[in-house]
Every structure is written in structure tokens, then in C-alpha cells.
Amino acid sequence: MPAPLMPHVMPTYGRLPFALSHGRGSRVWDTDGKEYLDALAGIAVNTLGHAHPKLVAALQDQIGKLIHCGNYYQVPLQEGLATLLVERSGLTNAFFCNSGLEANEAALKIARKYGHDQGIDLPEIVVYEKAFHGRSIATLSATGNPKVQQGFEPLVPGFVRVPMNDLAALQEVARSRPKVVAVFLETIQGEGGINPARNDYLQAVRKLCDDKGWLLMLDEVQCGIGRTGKWFAHQWAGIQPDVMPLAKGLGSGVPVGAVVCGPKAAHVLQPGNHGTTFGGNPLAMRAGVETIRIMEEDGLLGNAARIGGLLKAGLQRELGGLPGVVDIRGEGLMLGVELDRPCGQLLGQAAEAGLLLSVTADKVIRLVPPLIFSEADVAETLRILVPLVKQALAAPAA
Ligand SMILES: *Cc1c(COP(=O)(O)O)cnc(C)c1O
């Protein structure tokens, strides 16, 4: 083992041996001056790409006025961002926090209190196989990946797990578990391998939740905020959730989380039930407001749909028929290529060749570029990625 490059930082990540120094648009440069095309966007975070001039100017303005003030006061920028989210989702109220897991913690608290308010003393929440909801004790308990949970037992109780897109399994839960109060899933599973919930499944789950009085809680931390070509991925199915956690892309790189709720859930949390010191601070709120404003000005929903379609078609054309390519899936600029074997080495090989991407669920190449990605960026992604995938498939399967 070589000596660690950051000896005083806890070794919680497997990191590549270079550091990024700056970026512009869909490009980033490392401290040696090497250029990369960014098809990862810090894991679906840098919605507007790097150093977007409009965002930079707005954040500089905000930093010079007020970064943080606490929640003892009115924060008009919170109302501003809440309004933008409510208008685009059709929901009614937002709570602001700082990360994806915090948004999900708020959702879980809402579900439990929603149950308690109806006299259900030990409420249960339906969660999914291969789900990822974060790494706090409650959200890792909701997560459907033993690797994330191992070593952190005892897990939080009160979860019932079902497979994705299996309506019969959920109907069986409805018959057998009277304390269920909510169904909690990612509209498109991200860390689990870019696994979309089918539209007909989402519609059926919506109906079942209505029939049973359950909350439908859709974790759109990764797939929300325009990534699929609609503001929120569930809008492709023509449904609305009751509770929707958001984070990653919402601040275009500034940490911010939100849980957006409809009428069934919006008034469950009352004064004293929940809070956060940093949540909803003016800098994060400004980042959210400007991200949405700039996305609209620059037509980035349409761009995500169009460029995502080109990228998916290109991947299908170049890789689709190859033995060893199991599936190419996803929507807009949230795409996965599943191979029949582990391919974690592609992360480093692609970076070496000038392309940033990730591999998730061991076998799935994940592309979640900034929503400003261009046709030329798609061509370059394919030019670098396709030979690397072919090379990975030429080696004997492990
Ligand atoms: C990344 C992610 C989370 C956790 O977000 P953090 O900001 O890392 O806490 C939760 N849910 C989904 C779907 C995610 O992709």
C-alpha cells in the first residue's frame, strides 16, 4: 500500500490520486493542469456545471450581504425557494436542511408523526431492496444495501422491505401490516444502479397509498431538479408524491437539502418538532433560487432531455448489442450502463483518459453530468468511454 496522500483525513473514501483545482462549464482541471470532461458532476450535484458566470455573480453578491442568520427570524429567501419548488411540483410547503440524508430524516420523522397523529403507536414505513437513502443511522436502516449497514447495528426498526416494481409484494404488505403509514422509494434508484420505478408501478403505488391513507414519499435527492428532463422524475408518471426529499442538484454545488410536502404531510411537523442550525441559510437559499432561475433562463430541462436522449442513443448504438452489456437505462442525464461483471477499475481508467464518471452497485457505469452538457460533450464521452468498456469486456470475466 502506498502512503496515504491525505494522512490526517479519515480514510472513509477510496480516492483517485489527483486533486481538482478549478472548472468551467463541463470541464475541470487538476492541480497538474490536466483537463477532464465532467460526466459525474460531483455525483449529480453541479447542475449548472462549474463556475457558471450567473451563479458566481449571485453567490458573490449574497456572500457580501448575509451568509447565515439562523431560524429565529424571517428568511425571505426561504420563502422564495419554497415558492419556486411548490410551483414546479404542485406541492404546498418546503422544509430546508443541508443534505440528502437530512431531507430523508425529515421525511421519516414526518411519516412516523403522521402515524402517531392517527393513534398508530409503532408506525412502519415500506422501503425497497437496493435503495439508498443516506448514511445516518435511520437512513442507513432504510437503505437496502447490507454493505452500508454492516457494523452499525442495531438498525432502526419500523421498516418493511419490498422489491422494486413488484406490485403484488406491496399489496401483500397492505394486507398483512396494519401499522404501515408510508411508502418510501427513489423514483430512480441512484446508488443501487440507476433502477427506475416504472410509470405504471408509480401510478399503482399512488393509488394504493390513497386507498390506504399512506404517505407516498419519493426520494428525489439524485433524480430531481431537472436531471431527467422534467423538474421531478415522478412527473413522467403523471403523479404527485406527498413527501419529496431533494438535495444534490438543488444548490448547484452549495450544500442544501429540502423536503417538499403536499397537503397530507405539510402540517405534520409543528413548532418544536424539527429544526436545524444551518438549514435554510441565506447563502444556500440563494444558490437554490439562482439554480432554478438559471436553469429556466438557459433552457436546461429541455437540454437535459435532448442531450440525455443523444447520450443514451449513442450508448445503445455503440454498446447495446455487445455480449457482457446487460442493460442501458435511465432518463435524461441520469444514465447507467450495466455490465455482467464488476467494473470499478473504469473509474480510474476513464479519469486517466480525461473523463470523470462513477461505477455504482459494482457493475453499473453511472453518467450524471451537469445539465449544461452539449452534443460535443456527448461525442467526447462516447469517444473515451466506449473503447474502455470494450476493453473491460475483452478481459475474462472474473
Ligand atoms: C446521495 C443520496 C442521498 C444522501 O444524500 P447526502 O447528501 O449524501 O446525505 C439520499 N438519497 C439519494 C437517492 C441519494 O442519491
Among 327, 334, 340, 336, smallest CA distance to 373 is for 334
Cα of 176 vs centre of ligand 1, distance in Å, is 30
C-beta 134 within 6 A of ligand 1: yes
**Predicted pLDDT of residue 273:** 98
Domains of the chain: 20-51+300-394 (3.90.1150.10), 66-297 (3.40.640.10)
**Predicted pLDDT of residue 45:** 98
Q: What residues of the chain score a pLDDT lower than 70?
A: 1-2, 397-398
SS3 21: strand
C-beta 249 within 6 A of ligand 1: no
**Predicted pLDDT of residue 150:** 98
- Model confidence, pTM: 0.98
Sign of the C-alpha dihedral, residues 17, 23, 29, 35? positive
Count helices and strands (H / E) in the chain. 12, 17
**Predicted pLDDT of residue 2:** 67
Please, which residues bridge with residue 365 across strands?
A: 337, 359
C-beta 247 within 6 A of ligand 1: yes
